[in-house]
Amino acid sequence: MLKKNVKQTKANTENEKQIAAIKKDLKDGKSKLKIKTQKMIKMTLKKMEKTAGKQIKKLLKSK
């Protein structure tokens, strides 16, 4: 159980790093993506954040 939690935590940390990097690029306007693509990325980020939040809540409840 503990190993699973550690792996999950590492995965969540990686996701958070990716989310932060993409958000930073979008804010800076560095990414020359089309508006449609940016909207898709933003929606994906929201979904990733929701699922990560749910996973964290499950982990906290399981302890």
Q: Does 1 have pLDDT greater than 60?
A: no
Q: Which of 1-5, 39-43, 56-60 has the lowest mean pLDDT?
A: 1-5
pTM above 0.75, yes or no: no
Q: Does 58 have pLDDT greater than 70?
A: yes
CB-based contacts of 4-7 (< 8 A; 24+ apart in sequence):
5/59
Helix 2-28 / helix 35-62 crossing angle, nearest 10 deg: 150
Decide if 31 contacts 25 (C-beta within 8 A): yes
- CB-based contacts of 15: which residues, under 8 Å, 6+ apart? 48, 52
| Mean pLDDT (whole number) for 12-32 | 73
